[in-house]
Structure 1
Amino acid sequence: MSGEGDEPQAIRKLAPGKLVIASHNPGKVREIAELLDGHGLDVVSAKALDLPEPDETGTTFVANAELKARAAADLSGLPALADDSGLCVDALGGDPGIFSARWAGESKDFNEAMRRIEDNLARLDAPPRDAHFVCALALAWPDGHVEWFEGRVDGTLVWPPRGDKGFGYDPMFLPNGETETFGEMDQARKHAISHRADAFRQLVRAVF
């Protein structure tokens, strides 16, 4: 999906070469690099390039992903890929949503963030525990062109959290039809069914 104007445009292809992953989250960088493996890209993180983290002022996952991708492409002079993702809990009105990382605070303590979700659910009268992860990907070039893609996976929340794989809210998220949380699941299995995998399948079909 093109980020330029309202008229439909052909999706731009991504040539082999260096690509900036516009993230300072090592777990996210690792996962994105694994999903891009085999496509002839030399990936480097924004943190490795000492690029600043822009303020995420968008009101949607797509807007924040585009903001981060554009900033990294502008500063590096290279194509840049950004991910904005989060956990949306139905009974909490979609929270934490685009604020998923902020719920973990300055220290990025996702154990505390998961506890905050559970505490909020406990204040409700036997709420449903349905939730979904969303991943928006934005691929930006230094000339300002942007393509974006959005994926989703549905599931339920467990408590206490289970597993020490993955990152973020993975240990409390049980995908529909599975017996293991993302925190327990083999990463190859997670990559096959996750919200990020869904978005990446769309990206790979479109730009390679």
Structure 2
Amino acid sequence: MRHVYVSEIAQYVGQEVIVKGWLYNKRSSGKIMFPQIRDGSGIIQGVVLKTQVPEQVWKDLEHLPQESSLIVRGTVREEQRAPGGYEIEIHDAEIVSVAEPYPLGKKDHGIEFLLDHRHLWLRSRRPHAVLRIRHEVIRAIRDFLDSNGFVLCDAPIFTPAACEGTTTLFEVEYFEDQKVYLTQSGQLYNEAACMAFGKVYCFGPP
């Protein structure tokens, strides 16, 4: 039995696989349960029949809180009604770690609350999708520049002097009595770099 990622699941219809991830959501109706499992590459719905799994597995899944980590084993099948068009008929499950109560529920939260829990909010669909899109855009830009002979020269995050106006400088204490600023632009460093490499680019403050 092979460990696969959710993004690859369409290649394994009819086969038994292992999926490792976190419990994203769960609903149940009598003797059938539908846990949703995310593994970073996507989310897939599982189907658990009470009569088809060991009693302890059913109990473990029934009481498992959101964002707990688990390993499931089952058969992949195509199901148009399932999110993503595929699901796993789960035969066995192993609980790796039980999560603490998860603060982000289905209800709407204010922006201040979400920013305070930013590290957890990234697991939700919308910010997850935004970062995926951002990744693809950056990759396309880099592929274009790299294929045209440009060299990536990242500028330091801290700088001892202002690159633009001083009214927007963010001062940071550095070591003992030294002070530095968050850089406003990679321009100064790339002006020097372009005299060495010719064509350069920087991903950072413009």
Give TM class, smaller chain.
Answer: under 0.3
Q: TM-score, normalised by structure 1?
A: 0.23
Higher Rg: 2
Q: TM-score, normalised by structure 2?
A: 0.23
- Structure number with the higher strand fraction is 2
